[in-house]
Structure 1
């Protein structure tokens, strides 16, 4: 027999002709119906044949289990008798029969598995006759099994994707809100910059309505407007008002009005008037879906949409899609906003009524320390503070107890304060990946806090240094891009995930979320599926625990940051306890707030708020809701006291140093 003309059997250029197998060994292999093949890495025997399995006739060309004889170097060193003896030992009738039996069994296995999956077995089995194969039969079998498995998975994925598309059609998303769909709703958009009076106008209408709801972007704003509604006397009597946020419920018996965070929208209780604040948040990557749901699902006959002018096209597109009449009122700022002639340059050039803006907790506290050492008193506002602390700090500034407020961009939304001038310490902010220049819209929103109507005739903006001053001047002149009028975000609900699970059998939260994003039907792209990166990352970890889809979904949404290890560890421990069906109760005695640093107390405040959020949703395993809220209030009070003490100590040091 000659060596087959194939890449696998071709002699390499660097092997001499003397390595050709002796005639005796080759004759034995050929007599058995095989071929002796030499490659650079191995010398082996290969047999060809055919098996019949049901309706299939399958040819094969395979290396048996012990068909690899030796490496070429070792083979060359063997004499003719040794080579023949090795071939006679390996190439036997029994070996041939065993290979024939193995191929027949394998063909039946693949035929059955392919038939079950609705696939053509021969597409995979034809690889058994591959002329280039030099691997033992077992390796070839495994490769074919893997190819079939991948094909089954691809086919299953395609079928599951089709079933998912059939189960959820986002074009019909507004129809999922039954109460809103049945109501004759109309929209009134009040669009304008900060200090244009849009919130006051809408809230006055809400106060005088028989029933209504205010939907806020922040707990702080929900709390402020809850108190505003509760203090109102539209007909000589106080309104009955409830507060509903993720972490707190103050339910008033017979309440006609509700102040709520936008994510806590009640889609089943009809009201006369609804106010949806900061409507430009429709474009927010992580939270925009909550505003989409609010516009589509708020069950009010009159819905006020408050926000920036750049949201106009988006609002008009949504109103048209929902077939709701829309009035658009574009409001102007009530007082002028101007850039200062020059940068501030020195701390001593700061003055009472200034808001000094930095973009991190560390920088806020650094600027606070520098300013208090000049003898000025400071209120402090940053994202890590609870709404209660932020409000207390803002109140000190409003009442004149603090000369200056030092804040992050948390000041941009809510917190109405009598700010005369906004001073930017930088125009660069960390976005979670890298530092980048702030957007023109954020610059305008922060700057707009200057010149509170009724307190100051004009608002001013300045950079602390010359570069920041010039950047802010440019940003405030820049034309803002409109909020997109399509691609409105829709977040998955538990109902969505259960529907996908019911048609696909999928139980993994990560894969269900992936199916929601990639497989559901978006016919015209007007509504678009969206999940947050954090939820996606959490889902992968939660899938390692023995939790139901509902439990995993709830845990994936707990409002607690993963960037602080103590809080991340607490969240993981809660999830593990839930998987073991263990009750997680808080212990008041375990919280020694008096011994903690400011950062530690802030973190505990956020921890208790997150526990309260979870307790509202899974109370049987997280029962300490009242204690959590009590501890959160204590922690907030402690944070406020620590900030005040630090401010006082710095001011005293500054005065002593100035003597």
Structure 2
């Protein structure tokens, strides 16, 4: 068989209360290849057989088989398996494999069965340890408070955020939760303009990368992920509530709705979030008021597309969907003689705000930006000009969703400045697509499947019942094994966190430290940032603090892209510093370097704009 001539020895083992027959090939049981065997005469064949199947060979094989039966029977008993379901193979397996190889195959089958059983046991224990139906109960302060929800829903420029902020400022205490650092910063400053009892409000700013803590603060402006669920307040404002549906960050809004420790919680955002809000309010047993607000200034499509750069005019916002495209359009617009402010996602909040301020103050005629202008920047835009309706979604180029088209377009026509907002495509195709998208009826958010991200407490709970220390495996168990009775709440982790966890598991770090590192807000797609993140993780694994150095001149030698990335790196260091101050102690220096980098970026953008102005001085008279 199988290209071999071999002998098989039959026998029977009685052990552990079992009778186990076997037919096995001994260690020297393979005699020859068929071609060689055919050439041997009868006497040579007989001699070889007598040599290989003597008493010693039979005895040794029997001893091997007996020891193996004892081994498998004991292991099977430990895991409550039927030993014969594995040992019957000793008599049934028709193969030329030698006994040791057959034993290894059976051991492998038993190992797989043990792994399956262990996995099933751990899965069951994980399921018993976390029941997502009980997720709202994990927010103890919110659960004890008599909470009510007020939904302020409407399109951009409907005054919904203004109304919520006014209610927040009048309350004795409160918190504003923003989707972006920029929005948290803007509303932090806005709240400081209000007075209570003749004194300015005492307001703190809390984001992942920055803390401005006011003495005796009654109000806090915060990014949504930084929600303090333990300190009760009178009013909470959760902005951009439609972000509940966001693939990567929706879990932060789920946590905010379930855990905001306020007697009155304002849910501010787009009308398509209404059904989702109603479902959450019912599940949380909180009374709900819904107010639908209308846009204060009408929004209209231009009759025709813009077609030529020279047809752009003061007050326009030109929208592209990548940094490269924004800078290209910036150059084209300045070549046409218009001054420009530039806004895109890679810029820090400080730079975005400085650029927007120039547009607001009339120092720039046109703003050229990405959809970053759609959230958190209030600018006197009279017309939105779309250079394209296609955006890269992280996987492929696709037409932007109607909700995003509407949010971008809604930035045109600031109430009190313009009578109406206008929208146009630069080319005819984009113009027609935008016309269709703005007419499209938006689908409501789902009323179940609200994202829940794992907390460190969740992972420790899973680790305690499974003895697992791998972050990747703990995250996997959270996604696949916890109890999700009706799917109302659903476990979610990001792809970035998964891939980071696998790398972090190669380092001698605690689950808590690996979890913290997996959440650092830097892009793994930017090589310099990825290398910095890996360096921080390696240093932490060696219990070695990472220090920063102040270099006043280094930034002046970097390209625009490099300074932007440096700004993000310093912000990420500060983020880690607030969580692991012993190992990332230079928080203040990181913030100072981030500020310098932001100023350098703003300066470079202004210089690049000035270059085009110098080329065409007559156009600027």
TM-score for the superposition, normalised by structure 1? 0.93
Q: Is the 8 A contact 1:292 1:489 kept in 2?
A: yes
Moved more, 40-49 or 348-357: 40-49
- Structure 2 partner of 1:496: 458
- Equivalence map 1:10-159=2 (5 Å): 39-159=1-121
- Structure 2 partner of 1:165: 127
Report the alpha carbon displacement of residue 53 of structure 1 after superposing the two structures with TM.
1.5
Find 1:224's aligned residue among 186, 195, 200: 186
Q: Deviations over 1:411-464 (max 9, x none)?
A: 111101000000000000011111011001000000000001111110010000
- Structure 1 partner of 2:266: 304
Q: Is the 8 A contact 2:577 2:587 kept in 1?
A: yes
Distance 1:539 1:456 in 2: 50
- Structure 1 partner of 2:348: 386
Distance 1:656 1:528 in 2: 61
3-state SS of 1:366 partner = helix
Q: What are structure 1's unaligned runs of at least 5 residues?
A: 1-38
Alpha-carbon RMSD? 1.2
Question: Are residues 590 and 570 of structure 1, via their aligned partners in 2, closer, same or farther at CA, if it must alter by over 3 Å?
Answer: farther
Q: Is the 8 A contact 1:375 1:652 kept in 2?
A: no
Distance 2:532 2:93 in 1: 59
Distance 1:560 1:141 in 2: 50
Find 1:263's aligned residue among 225, 238, 242: 225
Report the alpha carbon displacement of residue 266 of structure 1 after superposing the two structures with TM.
0.2
Question: Are residues 152 and 591 of structure 1, via their aligned partners in 2, closer, same or farther at CA, if it must alter by over 3 Å?
Answer: farther
Distance 1:548 1:253 in 2: 35
Q: Is the 8 A contact 1:372 1:654 kept in 2?
A: no
- Structure 1 partner of 2:172: 210
Q: Deviations over 1:262-292 (max 9, x none)?
A: 0000001111011000000000010000000
Question: Are residues 658 and 81 of structure 1, via their aligned partners in 2, closer, same or farther at CA, if it must alter by over 3 Å?
Answer: farther
- Structure 2 partner of 1:292: 254
- Structure 1 partner of 2:362: 400
Runs of 4 or more, structure 1, over 6 Å off, are: 656-659
- Structure 1 partner of 2:310: 348
Distance 2:548 2:614 in 1: 39
Q: Deviations over 1:303-356 (max 9, x none)?
A: 000010000000000000000000000111111101111110000000000000
| Equivalences, count | 621
- Equivalence map 1:525-564=2 (5 Å): 525-564=487-526
Report the alpha carbon displacement of residue 64 of structure 1 after superposing the two structures with TM.
1.1
Instruction: Compare CA radii of gyration and give the structure with the larger one.
Output: 1
- Structure 1 partner of 2:440: 478
Q: Deviations over 1:366-425 (max 9, x none)?
A: 000000111111000000000000000000000100000001011111101000000000
Distance 1:569 1:114 in 2: 48
Q: Is the 8 A contact 1:373 1:655 kept in 2?
A: no
- Structure 1 partner of 2:537: 575
Q: Is the 8 A contact 1:359 1:408 kept in 2?
A: yes
- Structure 2 partner of 1:185: 147
TM-score for the superposition, normalised by structure 2? 0.99
Distance 1:199 1:328 in 2: 14
Report the alpha carbon displacement of residue 131 of structure 1 after superposing the two structures with TM.
4.4
Report the alpha carbon displacement of residue 76 of structure 1 after superposing the two structures with TM.
1.4
